[in-house]
Copies of this chain bind each other. A is one copy, B any other.
Amino acid sequence: MTDSARVQDVLRQLDAGLEEALDRLMAFLTIPSISTDPAHAGDVRRAADWLADELTGLGFQAQVHDTPGHPMVVARSQPGDARPLLFYGHYDVQPVDPLELWDRPPFESAIEETPAGRVIRARGASDDKGQLMTFVEAFRAWKAVHGTLPSDLILLFEGEEESGSPSLRPFLEAHADSLRASLAMICDTGLYADGRPAITTQLRGLVGQEVVVRGADRDLHSGSFGGLAANPIMVLAQALAALKNDQGRVTLPGFYDGVQDLTPELARDWQALDFDAAGFLDRVGLSQPVGEVGRTPLEMVWNRPTAEINGIAGGYAGDGFKTVLPAEARAKVSFRLTGQQDPEKVRAAFQDHVRSFVPTDCKVEFHDHGTSPASVMDISDPAFGLAKDALTEEWGRDAAFIGAGGSIPIAGDFKQILGMDSMLVGFGRDDDRIHSPNEKYDVESFAKGARSWARILSALR
């Protein structure tokens, strides 16, 4: 039997078993594994156990590892001579407040018929139980057809993703030898906006900084001191305003070191996406891109670094008016990084920049709020091209390599601690309402998601 015929068998197996697979997911979704709420700690463990039992039943060697927080589930298939792949997902879910906005109890999972097709309705349906079950079901069908699981798989499921993953990095460090693979498959992303299948191959990094400028030791009357005494709000406004020039470029010395233009291949892929910048902005009440002159909107959010002020406060900002010169002003600033930008250098350049605006009798202090480099996957690895072809085949539309403007910390952790790139593939949609009431996951995403993994596995095994 040819490989291609085997794939078809697995796909048929998946199709035939869809309703049973949905039943399994429905059962998984009834467990209220809310990781931020200590009252649900037992439920989180129950979800870990449920998953470990499923995997054991499939023939994986599965183990529930205790951590200082919620457990990690690690499972492995039989060793072989294939390149090892790590699959990552998380079995914890977001809280459900405000409960009164749900049309049904969030953990009484159900399949609903909607004008747009069947959907799986429950907290966690899309983020991330439904998504992680796409590859679990692909493994199950594979085994039914091939008689054994694909070899050399490592599965890692965490239960703290929705509460900041405090145990993840220590766990990766402690188990680096047994978790190291040649590529991580992360199923926590979505289809491209128009429903096209996509592999996210680059993520921006982040430098978060809080800056506090202090002047006088008390709020001053602006009549008595205005024009004479330093005004921390003005000092801060001038420092922040000068972060960008009139071309929309960040002015910090050396800021663009390591930033790379798109390869012709990616430029073509992104061009083909026909990104509707006007529509993207229109949905939030805006109409014009305001970023770097000469860059396309997709470059602005995916491949160009930026500086943004996320918050600012100082003086009196309530009702009415107080003519104070405030004692201090503060701002939260974040830099999104791309390519090989060095977060430490960006942070240092920012601090130097701000200091240059601060009069000698004022003080400035900085608080770190995280630094992470950009994640740029090596798409010359043949796995990326094979996965792209598999997705194209399954969805009947050209799959795309895309970027993401935000960070997915796990991808950085895998790179930094385990030395491996991540392939980010997922089947969520923009209207899945993850983190919100009435979360859903399309049955089509679930079914074709599992079929997509079967095709990808087949190409890589």
**A interface residues (Cβ-Cβ under 8 A, vs B):** 204, 206, 208, 210, 215-218, 220-231, 233-234, 236-238, 240-244, 277, 280-281, 284-292, 297, 300-301, 304-306, 308-318, 320-326, 329-332, 334, 336, 359-362, 369-370, 404-407
- Tell me if B286 and A226 are in contact (CB < 8 A): no
Known contacts A220-B284, A234-B241, A317-B312; A334 and B226 CB within 8 A of each other: yes
- Tell me if A241 and B237 are in contact (CB < 8 A): yes
- Tell me if A225 and B314 are in contact (CB < 8 A): no
| A406 CB, min distance to chain B CBs, angstroms | 2
Known contacts A233-B311, A288-B361; A405 and B226 CB within 8 A of each other: yes
Having A223-B406, A227-B336, A287-B360, one finds 4 other A-B pairs with CB under 8 Å, namely A308-B325, A315-B332, A321-B332, A323-B334
| A221 CB, min distance to chain B CBs, angstroms | 6
A296 to B, closest residue via Cβ: B228
Within the complex, which residue of B229, B312, B326, B369 is in contact with A286, where a contact is CB–CB below 8 Å?
B229
- Tell me if A336 and B226 are in contact (CB < 8 A): yes
| A101 CB, min distance to chain B CBs, angstroms | 17
- Tell me if A309 and B300 are in contact (CB < 8 A): no
5 closest cross-chain pairs (CB), A and B: A223-B406, A217-B285, A227-B306, A311-B315, A241-B241
B-chain residues with CB within 8 Å of residue A311 when the two chains form the complex: 233, 314-318, 322, 324, 326
Within the complex, which residue of B227, B238, B321, B330 is in contact with A369, where a contact is CB–CB below 8 Å?
B321
Question: How far, in whole Å, are A291 and B226 apart by their CA atoms in the complex?
Answer: 8
Known contacts A217-B284, A300-B228, A405-B223; A234 and B317 CB within 8 A of each other: no
- Tell me if B290 and A228 are in contact (CB < 8 A): yes
B-chain residues with CB within 8 Å of residue A228 when the two chains form the complex: 277, 280-281, 289-291, 297, 300-301
B-chain residues with CB within 8 Å of residue A310 when the two chains form the complex: 222, 233, 315-316, 321-326
Question: How far, in whole Å, are A362 and B289 apart by their CA atoms in the complex?
Answer: 12
- Tell me if B222 and A308 are in contact (CB < 8 A): yes
B-chain residues with CB within 8 Å of residue A331 when the two chains form the complex: 233, 317
Could you name 9 residue pairs across A and B whose Cβ atoms are closer than 8 Å? A215-B286, A216-B286, A222-B310, A223-B404, A227-B291, A227-B300, A287-B360, A309-B314, A313-B317
Question: How far, in whole Å, are A243 and B312 apart by their CA atoms in the complex?
Answer: 18
B-chain residues with CB within 8 Å of residue A359 when the two chains form the complex: 288, 290
Known contacts A218-B284, A311-B324; A227 and B316 CB within 8 A of each other: no
A241 to B, closest residue via Cβ: B241
